[in-house]
Structure 1
Amino acid sequence: MPDRIMYFQLKTGYDLDRGPAWIGSVRFSKTWRTAYFHDRTLARVTGTARANVDGDANFYDVDTGDLYWISGPKRDRTDGRYSAQQPTVEPEVKIQYEAFLTGAPLPGREEG
């Protein structure tokens, strides 16, 4: 799978949307059940694991158990669901992300 520009936020140890957040390049497995970001391997929270999560995370770090929220970025910059905190934009995606904010499609998402 090609890398995707995504919103990525650490949930473990923070109230709601107060954890550090990034806009960066995330690589997914073919099934979208595994994500790779910042040298982390993240597995999707599914099935019985979902019962052990407070509902505010959709991936967890397979090494540390830390919980994360990953989603596509929003043009209106309301990526944090309960906070206006702005994410750190990774340098390698800055140009594409800024173009996205002004109306361009994200790389790999030209068709939707």
Structure 2
Amino acid sequence: MIKDLMYIELKSGYSDDGPAWIGYVKTSKTRKTVYFNDHAFQKAIGGGSNYIDIENGDEYWISGLKKGESNRHWAGHGKITIDRRAVEEYLALIGEKELPLSLFEVAVMEDKFPVERANKLLNGIK
């Protein structure tokens, strides 16, 4: 499993203003499956999102972090929740000393990666 810091945004029902997070994810070796916040996502085919929650079908945008600009779509609004453990790494990536609290909300996020549950679901095992 690969563990990375990534940007995750819920697209279903929100367009470009959905809840968004910067946090640590686990990925499968192929990166076709991403695990974050007790959800498992698989790559989508076509459409405006790039991942689908395998349990409820919600669409998400999941990407690496941008260095020189907001991670949100240019038309999007709303604060991004960032894992408190990731703040220092994110600031180093964007070359800043402080996190603009008008754009971010710092939160405690637990590492919940439902690998076994997702594998059972994907393989049709009950």
The TM-score with structure 1 as length reference comes to 0.76
Cross-structure match for 1:64? 56
Structure 2 spans left out of the alignment, 5+ residues: 97-126
> Partners in 2 of 1:83 and 1:18 — Cα distance?
5
AA of the residue aligned to 1:73: L
Cross-structure match for 1:9? 9
Pairing 1:22–2:21 present:
yes
Matched residue SS, 1:23: strand
Check the 8 A contact 1:44/1:60 in 2, yes or no.
Answer: yes
> Partners in 2 of 1:59 and 1:7 — Cα distance?
12
AA of the residue aligned to 1:66: D
> Partners in 1 of 2:81 and 2:69 — Cα distance?
12
> Partners in 1 of 2:78 and 2:69 — Cα distance?
9
AA of the residue aligned to 1:18: D
Which runs of at least 4 in structure 1 moved beyond 4 Å after TM superposition?
none
Q: Give the structure with higher Rg (CA).
A: 2
Q: Structure 1 pair 74/84, CA: closer, same or farther in 2 (3 Å)?
A: farther
AA of the residue aligned to 1:92: R
> Partners in 2 of 1:77 and 1:95 — Cα distance?
17
Q: CA deviation at 1:84?
A: 4.8
The number of residue pairs the alignment matches comes to: 95
Pairing 1:87–2:80 present:
yes
Structure 1 spans left out of the alignment, 5+ residues: 104-112
> Partners in 2 of 1:19 and 1:70 — Cα distance?
12
Check the 8 A contact 2:2/2:28 in 1, yes or no.
Answer: no
Q: CA deviation at 1:27?
A: 1.0
> Partners in 2 of 1:24 and 1:85 — Cα distance?
17
AA of the residue aligned to 2:89: Q
Q: Structure 1 pair 86/74, CA: closer, same or farther in 2 (3 Å)?
A: farther
Cross-structure match for 2:33? 34
Pairing 1:97–2:90 present:
yes
The TM-score with structure 2 as length reference comes to 0.69
Q: CA deviation at 1:92?
A: 2.0
